[in-house]
Amino acid sequence: MKKVTVSLEEQQLETLKEIQEDGEADSRSEALRRLFAQYDQLQAEYENLNIEYELLENELQEEREKTKRILQQQEENTELVEYVQEERSAEQRWREAGLTTRLRWRIFGMDTDEE
């Protein structure tokens, strides 16, 4: 280890003293080394949490896109169901219509409001 001289503020010296008094360190130097170790540990934890946050953010974005696709598919399916129901209704009307009505529909097209 190398020896270094530092200037600290009163509050920082009090923190070192508290660490010594709590029995966590035998000297100011050891207390300072413990603080650096805690800082390194917190920095590593921060980086891990930041990575986890980014992963969760990406996962959220993927889920939003998935939900959007599902809603679009649901809308398309609803439109398709409505179309099929209209076609069935028209087909049923055709079967129930008389010959002259069918002939008129063949020539002029089937009225959509006639039920």
Res. 109 pLDDT band, cuts 50 70 90? confident
Looking at this protein, which amino acid is placed at residue 31? A
User: CB–CB of 25/19 below 8 Å?
Assistant: yes
Q: Could you read off the pLDDT of 71-102 as tens digits, one per residue?
A: 999 999 999 999 998 888 888 888 888 999 88
pLDDT of residue 21: 92
Question: To which residue do tokens 């010959």 refer?
Answer: 99
pLDDT of residue 90: 85
pLDDT of residue 36: 95
85 burial level (CB within 10 Å; 0-12, 13-18, 19+): exposed
